[in-house]
Amino acid sequence: QQQQQQQHSQAVVSYLNSVLSQRGQHALPYAEDAKWTIRQHLLDLLREFPSLQVKNGTYTHNDGRNAHLLRTEGTIPMFYQNVRYNVPVTIFLLEAYPRSAPLVYVCPTPDMIVKPRHSS
């Protein structure tokens, strides 16, 4: 188990090193001086929430522009009335990250019940 986690961690480090060092048309749109920080933030996030996975892909802004960005997908645990729920999320690192906050979406599964106008 621990060896598997170590191999996964090494694979994530290699992946981040690769995608953050790309140049030219395939380069991610982050500032060069921010890439080491981005790498460290993502590694810290994955250490805290191992159910998340790092990917890259297209994000469509509200104005229709597409951007090739890093994102994490998976579940984050949350407790409500002493019951643990694994909330599915997608977290995008926008172009100005880390000078701007990440964009976080809760992505309900088809079998999730989301109560409208719910107040606790």
What are the residues whose beta carbons fall under 8 Å from the beta carbon of 68, sequence distance 6 or more?
A: 26, 28, 29, 56, 57, 58, 59
In this structure, is residue 113 part of a structural domain?
Answer: no
Q: Which domain holds residue 17?
A: 2-106
From first to last of the 120 residues of the chain, give the pLDDT tens digit.
Answer: 666 667 778 999 999 999 999 998 889 999 999 999 999 999 999 999 999 999 999 999 999 999 999 999 999 999 989 999 999 999 999 999 999 999 999 998 888 877 787 766
The predicted model scores a pTM of: 0.86
Residues 6+ apart with CB under 8 A from 48: none
CA 90 to chain centre: 6
In a domain, 75, yes or no: yes
How many domains does one find in the chain? 1
